Structure 1
Amino acid sequence: MARTTAARWTENDVPSQKGRIAVVTGANSGLGLQTARVLAARGAHVVLAVRDLDKGRRAATEIADRVPGAQLSLQQLDLASLASVRTAAAELRAAHPRIDLLINNAGVMYTPRRKTQDGFDMQFGVNHLGHFALTGLLLDALLPVADSRVVTVSSFGHRIQASIHFDDLQFDRSYNRVAAYGQAKLANLMFTYELQRRLAPHGTTIAAAAHPGAAATELQQNLPRPLRKAADLALPLISQPAAMGALPTLRAATDPAVTGGQYYGPGGMGGTRGYPEAVASSKKSHDTAVQQRLWAVSEQLTDVRFPV
């Protein structure tokens, strides 16, 4: 998708979200916290879906202090556990029979070799499989809602050492944390594009993706030592605050002009910073055959089937 040349889009451009239900994963810090704050300020009832409820409560307090009258609720969700994902989805459906926005924001980056409770590589399991399962389990609550959206946060890391390693999805033979992150973020995009194809005939829900550029968040803590040294020098020059990094997600979630299958990211400095625009993802991310194969494998691994 070619980059647009629209005027600077800020959080002030988010239209009213009054009466809408928004579920934001990883809303206790960083991009998720800023996304939740803006949606609450525009009138949405925001569900902060978080692994740590104490951190979630502190985030809710922070938002409420800045947004008097904010409608907020908490949902415990550990994306590293499919049992937790299923429990959270059941509780969310019971509390909110209709959902307008699902923001798949939570993630981990460059973690050392670790496994989820189900034996998946931590980066692939949390960033992709956990959100794949959550989306599939909640989709029945989104499909009847006009202009409902699923927005999944990817990264320009989907271009770096990134392939879907079907012969070793969990990096059991040889672990490379950069390649594992690239695979997970590429999977986020492929999931979005295949989901949009499946949603299109229904005409109510769309899927879009976003990336924050070089946003200053807690994700940087797991950078390998050589990269961390380089990042310490480069990030002050190219990074942007989390509030700016959240804008592509917010635009994908709320701009009436968004169409399904679009990818939003910062428009300046090689995609590292700036105001959100529709941007292009890698050629590899558009491989339909790989998207469909990844979808089938993801269904098998999570035992979640989508109603589309």
Structure 2
Amino acid sequence: MAGSVLVTGANGSLGVHAVDYILRHYPDITAILTVRNTSDADANTKTLRDTIARYPGAKVSIHQLDLASLTAVHEFAGKITQDITNKVYPPLSAIVANAFYWNLVADPEITSDGYDKTIQVCHVAHVALILRLLGSFGPNGGRVVLFTSDAHWPGQNSYDLELLVKPKPGADKLGLGFLRYANAKLATVSWMYALDRHLQKDANLSKITALAINPGNLVDSRALRTNTPGMLPYVQKFILKPLLPLMRLRDPLLRRVSAGGVDVAKIALDPEYAGARGYYTFLKKDESSPESREGKKQEALWVRSAQWAGITRENTSLASAVGD
């Protein structure tokens, strides 16, 4: 198998394990990896480089990309498009939209683009990146892999599109922070269905499929130690990690990032999942929340997401990405 896979947030807890599996099992693949800080002064980027170093023959490049800046996203997408055209990299076989952000201890953070940082990093920036790069897939198509979680299920999630990108602050930092994250995951799943539907209707892009994977509730993810209440790292260290076998009896979605990374790599690149589309829990086809499956809401989000992301007829190969 030849081609390129683009992975955002490649130095994340799950991302490093996904990259490791890709380099070990798909040696013909070219890995285009993005991180916010490419310096080894970032311990997570150094871990990523140490992982890559175990595969001296691997075709890998690491790129700086801050998803909190749509200008940076568009510039990066333009560069990758040009590099693929110039045969610096093979055509894309997969995009893995792994990068993530949340803040459970503060009010909404507004980016320079005017959007809440959680929804921009988790959703809007990936919309821009994906729609810009669809024309860089090879003739055999490939897969767009988006990330979700069971957090997208709760009924209190909001589909008010303005509040989605510009949520209101409040006293309950933890609750509202988690709601912003949950809404971002709901938006991701809803948009995935719309993307797949629009791709199927496009004669030039119909071999590209879109799917969303819930990789599980990852007990050893550093997300539990980043922008979270002070007690959460202790819960992770003294309860979640040591008691994982027992706790899985109550919540079978609990597992380690290494297992999640393997599943993500497989669903993105393994021939077994060629043509995979829709919603997955681990590697099993599953059903997402009822709200995420409402067609009218999917289409409304589809139109607004392209607008938020700065998508025009001139910068995407998917004509129906832009409304009339």
**Which category of TM-score, normalised to the shorter sequence, fits these structures?**
0.7 to 0.9
Contact 1:149 1:208 (8 Å CA) reproduced: yes
1:120-143 CA distance string (max 9 Å, x none) = 11110110001000111111102x
Partner of residue 223, structure 1: 228
Deviation at 1:63, TM superposition (A): 2.2
**Does residue 307 in structure 1 map to residue 317 in structure 2?**
yes
**Does residue 251 in structure 1 map to residue 254 in structure 2?**
no
Deviation at 1:171, TM superposition (A): 4.1
Distance 2:9 2:153 in 1: 23
Contact 2:9 2:99 (8 Å CA) reproduced: yes
**Does residue 48 in structure 1 map to residue 43 in structure 2?**
no
1:139-169 CA distance string (max 9 Å, x none) = 1102x43141111111111123423222422
3-state SS of 2:297 partner: helix
> Highest Rg: 1 or 2?
2
Contact 1:153 1:249 (8 Å CA) reproduced: no
Distance 2:94 2:103 in 1: 28
Structure 2: tracts of 5 or more residues without a match: 86-90, 171-175, 249-253, 319-324
CA 1:199 to 1:20, structure 2 compared with 1: closer, same or farther past 3 Å?
A: same
Partner of residue 62, structure 2: 74
AA at the equivalent of 2:33: L
Distance 2:180 2:65 in 1: 22
**Does residue 169 in structure 1 map to residue 174 in structure 2?**
no
Partner of residue 188, structure 1: 188
Contact 1:208 1:252 (8 Å CA) reproduced: no
Distance 2:231 2:291 in 1: 27
Partner of residue 27, structure 1: 10
Distance 2:102 2:292 in 1: 19
**Does residue 285 in structure 1 map to residue 292 in structure 2?**
yes
Partner of residue 75, structure 2: 87
Partner of residue 7, structure 1: none
Deviation at 1:260, TM superposition (A): 4.3
Partner of residue 135, structure 1: 130
Moved more, 89-98 or 42-51: 89-98
2:148 to 148, 154, 166: 154
- Count of residues paired in the alignment: 281
Contact 2:35 2:45 (8 Å CA) reproduced: no
3-state SS of 1:162 partner: coil
CA RMSD of aligned residues (A): 2.2
Identical-residue share of aligned pairs (%): 27
1:186-229 CA distance string (max 9 Å, x none) = 11111111110011133321111112211121211233457666
Partner of residue 263, structure 1: 279
TM-score by length of 2: 0.79
Contact 2:12 2:99 (8 Å CA) reproduced: no
**Does residue 297 in structure 1 map to residue 304 in structure 2?**
yes
Distance 1:66 1:134 in 2: 29
Distance 1:234 1:171 in 2: 35
AA at the equivalent of 1:27: A
AA at the equivalent of 2:257: A
3-state SS of 2:5 partner: strand
2:119 to 119, 124, 140: 124
AA at the equivalent of 1:246: G
Moved more, 22-31 or 58-67: 58-67
TM-score by length of 1: 0.83
Contact 1:63 1:70 (8 Å CA) reproduced: no
AA at the equivalent of 2:215: P
Contact 1:171 1:180 (8 Å CA) reproduced: no
3-state SS of 2:68 partner: coil
AA at the equivalent of 2:298: Q
